Structure 1
Amino acid sequence: MSTLPIEYIRMSRMFREVVEGKEIVSFEVPTHKFFARNEIPYLSMVLDYDVRKLENMISDMKYGRVVVEKMWAIRLDSELFRENKKVLLPDLGSNHIDGNIESVENGHVINIDVNGIKSLVRVAVFDRQSFKEVIIIRRPPLPALVRYAAFI
């Protein structure tokens, strides 16, 4: 009896939200293990990989080749075990994006402005001994934190 391989990249629901009087398009981020298709551009941007190549590498995880592992995605304005609020990130393809890069010890931080909203999302990459740690931080409203380990 055979089993079907697990698909790690999935389509997720899209949302329109108003932040500081401006409308942005966001997507729902799965809480762990699985990736929304719209998350891949975030990872591609900070890991310096082509989007298609990174998608293929993540899809190969169904054969046991772990490349990027999502540790967790949590909303910072909810109680961890009592509430299950959706983690939303702005879609990089549907919004006007601008930003800048800051150097920090053992890595760098990218501040992303979305539709004129300054530093709505920050993406930090830290070089560890055997992997790169990627952290995506979304500021209020709907503050969230997403953490990955990239073995690239």
Structure 2
Amino acid sequence: RFHIIGEGETKERLILELKATGAEVIDHGILFDPVEKQKVFDQCHYGLNIVKPNVMVGLTMKSLDYMIGGLPMLNSIGGDTEKLVEQYDLGFNVDRNHLEELAENICHEKPEEAVQRRHNMQKVYSEFFSEETFFRTLDEVDA
């Protein structure tokens, strides 16, 4: 089962390719309500965090949504996001050349590892990206 939240220019292609594999696709459309988003996240093992190869970003709003919701990532974004995933065990960094290895890791994941990754996601958000952290940092710089 593959849940989709949001829109994107290649969404229809993704849906067609997923259905071709036999996956059930549930398209929730655009969701802004955090409670509704969390209901979807609670049904998922991982959130897909990918961008086109030629796009360079540090952190996406989707990454932050996953952190807030405690949903580990399958991440293809380099830079800061890639480092956070590695350093804090927030899921897996995806590399097209190692998809078989990724599948093996996911299939052999222990339940306690999955739960820990969910906690790690929320902890990283709280420590680095929450509103409270932002204002505390701002106060330190202002002092």
Q: Does the TM-score normalized on the shorter chain lie above 0.5?
A: no
Higher relative contact order (CA 8 A, sep 6+): 1
* TM-score bin (small chain): under 0.3
1 or 2, which has the higher strand percentage?
Answer: 1
TM-score, normalised by the number of residues in structure 1: 0.26
TM-score, normalised by the number of residues in structure 2: 0.27
1 or 2, which has the higher helix percentage?
Answer: 2
